[in-house]
C-alpha cells in the first residue's frame, strides 16, 4: 500500500511538470534537432538543455522559454557569408596597415550578417514587478538532495528556514533517477518523500532564482519576472548541485548534443525516444543516466577517455545492463549525416598505445553526462576557488562542515564538490549541527561526534574524499596553504584523454567550440593567447633543461582572454565554458588552474529584465 501511494505521488508530480509537452520535444520527435541557431554565424547549433540555468544560453541567440510549449524564437536567421567568416571570428585581429585602416568598414559590413535578434522580438515582461521581502534564519539555495536534506535537519533544530529552487519542482537530478542509489534506494522515490516532508516543514519557493548580492541586498527573481525577492537571512547555504557542460571534440557544434538530465526529462516526461545514443562520462551520474535510458528501451553506448569506468560504486552494473562501452577512447572526428551523428573514436595515447583501436558509430544524439560543481554563487560572494580533481574540478575551498570562511555562508552537496548521495545526506546533518552549535542549540560534543562519523564514511567510501577535504580545510600539513595539483585529465575534453593526445587534438582546434553563446573555438582562445604573449610561441612540449624557464613563464589570465575573444560574455555568464576552458588550458600548458584563474563572476545569477529589477513596487 505504501509503495503504491509513493508511486501515485510521483505520478502526480510528473504530471504537473509535463502537463504541456514542450515545443522542443515535438521537434525532436520529428527528427529536427536544429532547434537553435548560433548567435554569430547563424548555423544550426547544439547544446540542447532544458534546465533553468540554460535561459541565459538560449537568450544569447534570441530564444526564450525554449523548453515550453510556447517559446519565443527569432523570426529571421542571418548567416555570415563564407568569404567573410574569418572576419566574424572572435579571434580576428587586423595585422597589416591596410587592413587596420579598412577594419572599421570590414567589421561594420560583416556585423550586418551576424545572427542577432532585434529588440522588438524580446518577450513581453510586466513593467510592475511585485517586491517580495523574505525574512528567515537560514536561506537554502537549491531544492535537490542536499538542499532538502539540510532544510529538514535545520527545521528539526527549530530554525526558520526558507528554500528557493529555480525549477518548478523539488528533487533535482534524483527526481529523474529510477535506479538504485547506494544507501538511498530508488532515487526518485526517496527524493519525492523527502520533498513532501520538507514542504510541510519549511517555506519553499519554486521557480525562483537566487541571483546573489547586489550592493547590500540579497536579491532573487521569479522565472516569469513578475516578482523581485529581497532576502534577509542570518545564514546562507548554497546547495545548487552540479551542472552538465558541453563536450569538446571536433564537430561539437552539432545540434545533436544534449545534457543527460535534459534527455531524461525529454524521454520520461515528454515522450521523446531516440533509438541510439552515446552517453559520455562514466562517473556515478553518467553510469546511472545510461542505465535509466536502457530501462526506457533505448540502445545506449557509454564512452569516456579515462582508462577505466570512473564510477567505483556502479562499475559492475554497466555490463549487467547490456551497455556497450567505449572506455579509454577519444572522439577524433564527428559529422552530422542524414542517419544521425557519425562519430569516429580512437584509443587514447594514439600511436603510443600498445593496442590500437578505432571505432565508428552512428547515434541519434550524444549525451553529455560530464558534470562540474556549480561555483557561480560562491565565486560571486568572494569564496576561494581551487582545483580538486577528486571532487570534480574547480570547487570552493571549504572544510568538513561546508563553511566557506565568509562568516555566514556554507556550501553543501555537489556545489562544494561531487560526492555520492549517501555522503551528501551525512554532510547535510553536519552542516545543520554546525549552524546549531553556533547558535547554542547543539552541544560541541554532538557536533564533533557527527563530524567523526562523516569522516569515517568518507574513508570507507573512498580515502581520497577524506584526504582532499582535509587539505581543503587545513592546507598542506596543516599550514593553511592549499597546493593545487596539475591537471592530469579533463573529462569534458573528449578528444584528449592523456597528455600524449593533446598535440593531435589541437590539429582540429578550429572545430572544437568552447563558448556556445559567442561561438568561440579552442583555436580562437589559443590565438588570443599568442596575441597576448606578443606573438611569442608557447610550446606544448618542453625539452630537457627548459623546465625551470617554463615554470617561471607567466601566461595570460582567463580575464584577459575573455576580453580579447568574448569568452563567457554571453547572457549565460560563462556557465557553459569558463571552467572547461580553464581546465583545458591548464592541461595543454601544464600549468595549475589557479595560474589562469577565472574571470570575475558578477550579479545576477540568471538574466533579469531591467523592468523587473528597476520597475518593481516600492
Quick one: pLDDT band at residue 535, thresholds 50, 70, 90? low
Where are the chain's structural domains?
82-111, 130-243+372-473, 250-370, 499-596
CB 566 within 8 A of CB 515: yes
408 to 91, 144, 235, 381, 480: CA distances (angstroms): 42, 21, 5, 11, 20
Is 505 a residue whose pLDDT tops 60?
A: yes
Phi, psi of 3 (to 5 degrees): -65, -40
What DSSP string runs through 334-366?
Answer: EEEETTEEEEEEEETTGGGSSS--EEEEEESEE
| pLDDT, greater one: 368 or 541 | 368
- State the pLDDT confidence band at 351, using cuts at 50, 70 and 90: low
Residue of higher predicted confidence among 532 and 46: 532
pLDDT at position 125: 74
- In this structure, of 84-88, 99-103, 263-267, 504-508, the range with the lowest mean pLDDT score is 99-103
Confidence category of residue 16, pLDDT binned at 50, 70, 90: very low
| Residue 250 banded pLDDT, cuts 50, 70, 90 | very high
43, with CB counted inside 10 A (0-12, 13-18, 19+), is middle
Among 96-110, 128-142, 203-217, 437-451, the minimum mean pLDDT is found in: 96-110
Q: Which CATH superfamily is domain 250-370 in?
A: FAD/NAD(P)-binding domain (3.50.50.60)
Q: Average of pLDDT values for 200-215?
A: 94
Mean per-residue pLDDT over the chain, rounded: 88
Q: Does 3 score more than 50 pLDDT?
A: no
Q: What local confidence, expressed as pLDDT, does residue 518 receive?
A: 87
* Alpha-carbon span 80 to 341, nearest angstrom: 24
Q: What is the pLDDT of residue 58?
A: 87
Domain 130-243+372-473 CATH class label: alpha beta
Report the pLDDT value the prediction gives residue 113, as an integer from 0 to 100: 61
pLDDT over 70 (residue 83): no
Rounded to whole angstroms, the Cα distance separating 595 from 289 reads 34
Percentage above 90 pLDDT, the chain: 63
pLDDT single digits (tens) 179-203: 999 889 999 999 999 999 999 999 9
Q: What is the pLDDT of residues 160-186, one digit of tens each?
A: 999 999 999 999 999 999 999 988 999
Pairing of strands 365-368, 276-280: parallel
Q: What percent of the chain has pLDDT over 70?
A: 86
At a CB cut-off of 8 Å and minimum separation 6, what does 28 contact? 35, 48, 266, 272, 274
Q: What is the pLDDT of residues 251-272, one digit of tens each?
A: 999 999 999 999 999 999 999 9
The confidence score (pLDDT) of residue 1 equals 43
Residue predicted with more confidence, 42 or 399: 399
pLDDT (average), residues 119-130? 74
Please state which of the ranges 183-187, 443-447, 491-495, 606-610 shows the lowest mean pLDDT. Answer: 606-610
Q: What is the mean pLDDT of residues 276-287?
A: 97
Q: How confident is the model at residue 10 (pLDDT cuts 50, 70, 90)?
A: very low
pTM over 0.85: yes
* CATH number among 2.60.40.10, 1.10.10.1100, 2.40.128.520, 3.55.40.10, domain 499-596: 1.10.10.1100
d(CA 601, CA 378): 9
For the sheet with 203-206, list strands across it: 203-206, 161-165, 138-141, 235-238, 409-411
Same fold, 130-243+372-473 and 250-370: yes
pLDDT band with cut points at 50, 70 and 90 for residue 476: low
- Selected residue with higher pLDDT from 353 and 78: 78
pLDDT surpasses 80 at 19: no
pLDDT digits (tens, 9 = 90+) for 30-74: 888 888 888 777 788 878 999 999 988 888 878 888 888 888 887
Phi-psi group of 97: left, alpha or beta (phi > 0 → left; psi -120 to 50 → alpha; rest → beta): alpha
* Position 436 confidence tier, pLDDT thresholds 50, 70, 90: very high
* pLDDT for 8: 45
Residue 118 has pLDDT above 80, yes or no: no
Number of helices (H), then strands (E), belonging to the chain: the values are 21, 25
Residue 229: in which H helix or E strand, if any?
strand 227-232
Please give the pLDDT value at position 78.
72
Residue 363 backbone class (left: φ over 0; alpha: ψ -120 to 50; beta: rest): beta
CA distance 497 to 346: 11
Q: Is 241 helix (H, G, I), strand (E, B) or coil?
A: coil
Please, which pLDDT band fits residue 475 given cuts at 50, 70 and 90?
confident
pLDDT at 542: 59
More confident residue, 306 or 129: 306
pLDDT at 510 > cutoff 60 = yes
Please tell me the least confidently modeled range out of 117-131, 165-179, 218-232. Answer: 117-131
**Greater pLDDT, 335 or 478:** 335
Other residues' Cβ atoms within 10 Å of the Cβ of residue 223: 17
pLDDT the model gives residue 111: 65
Amino acid at each position: 500500500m505504501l509503495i503504491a501511494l509513493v508511486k501515485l505521488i510521483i505520478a502526480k508530480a510528473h504530471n504537473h511538470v509535463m502537463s504541456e509537452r514542450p515545443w522542443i520535444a515535438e521537434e525532436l520527435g520529428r527528427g529536427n534537432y536544429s532547434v537553435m541557431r548560433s548567435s554569430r554565424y547563424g548555423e544550426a547549433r547544439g547544446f540542447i538543455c532544458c534546465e533553468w540555468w540554460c535561459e541565459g544560453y538560449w537568450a544569447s541567440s534570441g530564444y526564450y522559454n525554449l523548453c515550453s510549449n510556447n517559446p519565443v524564437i527569432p523570426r529571421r536567421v542571418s548567416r555570415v557569408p563564407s568569404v567573410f567568416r574569418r572576419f566574424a571570428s572572435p579571434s580576428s585581429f587586423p595585422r597589416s596597415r591596410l587592413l587596420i585602416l579598412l577594419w572599421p568598414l570590414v567589421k561594420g559590413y560583416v556585423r550586418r550578417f551576424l545572427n542577432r535578434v532585434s529588440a522588438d522580438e524580446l518577450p513581453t515582461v510586466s513593467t510592475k514587478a511585485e517586491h517580495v521581502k523574505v525574512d528567515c534564519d537560514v536561506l537554502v539555495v537549491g531544492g535537490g538532495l542536499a538542499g532538502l536534506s539540510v532544510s529538514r535537519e535545520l527545521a528539526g533544530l527549530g530554525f526558520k528556514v526558507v528554500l528557493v529552487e529555480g525549477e518548478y519542482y523539488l528533487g533535482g537530478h534524483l527526481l529523474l533517477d529510477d535506479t538504485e542509489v547506494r544507501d538511498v534506494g530508488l532515487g526518485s522515490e526517496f527524493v519525492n518523500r523527502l520533498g513532501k516532508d520538507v514542504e510541510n516543514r519549511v517555506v519553499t519557493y519554486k521557480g525562483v532564482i537566487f541571483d546573489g548580492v547586489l550592493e547590500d541586498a540579497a536579491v532573487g527573481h521569479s522565472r516569469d519576472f513578475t516578482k523581485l525577492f529581497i532576502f534577509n537571512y542570518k545564514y546562507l547555504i548554497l546547495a545548487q548541485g552540479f551542472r552538465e557542460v558541453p563536450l569538446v571534440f571536433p564537430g561539437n557544434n552539432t545540434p545533436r548534443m544534449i545534457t543527460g538530465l535534459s534527455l531524461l526529462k525529454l524521454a520520461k516526461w515528454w515522450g521523446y525516444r531516440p533509438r541510439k545514443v552515446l552517453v559520455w562520462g562514466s562517473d556515478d551520474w553518467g553510469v546511472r543516466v545510461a542505465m535509466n535510458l536502457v530501462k526506457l528501451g533505448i540502445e545506449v553506448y557509454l564512452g569516456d577517455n579515462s582508462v577505466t569506468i570512473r564510477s567505483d560504486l556502479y562499475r559492475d552494473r554497466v555490463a549487467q545492463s547490456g551497455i556497450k562501452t567505449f572506455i579509454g577512447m577519444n572522439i577524433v572526428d564527428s559529422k552530422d549525416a542524414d542517419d544521425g551523428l557519425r562519430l569516429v573514436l580512437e584509443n587514447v595515447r594514439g600511436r603510443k598505445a600498445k593496442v590500437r583501436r578505432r571505432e565508428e558509430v552512428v547515434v541519434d544524439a550524444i549525451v553529455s553526462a560530464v558534470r562540474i560543481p556549480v561555483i557561480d554563487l560562491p565565486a560571486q560572494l568572494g569564496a576561494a576557488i581551487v582545483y580538486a580533481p577528486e571532487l570534480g574540478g574547480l570547487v570552493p575551498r571549504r572544510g568538513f562542515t561546508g563553511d566557506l570562511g565568509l562568516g555566514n555562508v556554507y556550501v553543501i552537496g555537489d556545489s562544494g564538490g561531487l560526492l555520492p548521495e549517501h555522503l551528501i545526506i551525512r554532510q547535510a546533518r553536519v552542516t545543520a549541527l554546525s549552524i546549531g552549535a553556533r547558535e547554542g542549540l547543539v552541544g560541541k560534543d554532538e557536533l564533533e561526534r557527527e563530524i567523526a562519523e562523516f569522516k569515517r564514511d568518507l574513508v570507507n567510501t573512498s580515502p581520497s574524499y577524506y584526504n582532499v577535504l582535509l587539505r581543503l580545510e587545513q592546507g598542506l600539513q596543516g599550514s593553511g596553504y592549499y597546493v593545487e595539483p596539475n591537471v592530469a585529465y579533463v573529462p569534458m575534453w573528449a578528444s584528449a584523454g592523456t597528455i600524449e593526445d593533446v598535440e593531435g587534438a589541437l590539429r582540429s582546434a578550429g572545430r572544437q567550440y568552447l563558448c556556445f553563446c559567442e561561438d568561440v573555438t579552442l583555436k580562437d582562445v589559443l590565438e588570443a593567447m599568442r596575441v597576448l604573449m606578443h606573438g611569442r610561441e608557447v610550446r606544448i612540449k618542453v625539452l630537457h633543461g627548459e623546465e625551470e624557464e617554463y615554470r617561471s613563464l607567466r601566461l595570460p589570465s582567463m580575464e584577459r582572454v575573455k576580453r580579447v575573444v568574448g569568452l563567457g560574455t554571453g547572457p549565460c555568464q560563462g556557465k557553459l565554458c569558463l571552467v572547461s576552458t580553464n581546465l583545458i588550458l591548464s592541461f595543454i600548458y601544464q600549468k595549475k588552474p589557479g595560474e589562469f584563474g577565472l574571470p570575475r563572476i558578477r550579479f545576477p545569477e540568471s538574466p533579469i529584465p531591467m523592468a523587473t529589477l528597476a520597475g518593481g513596487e516600492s
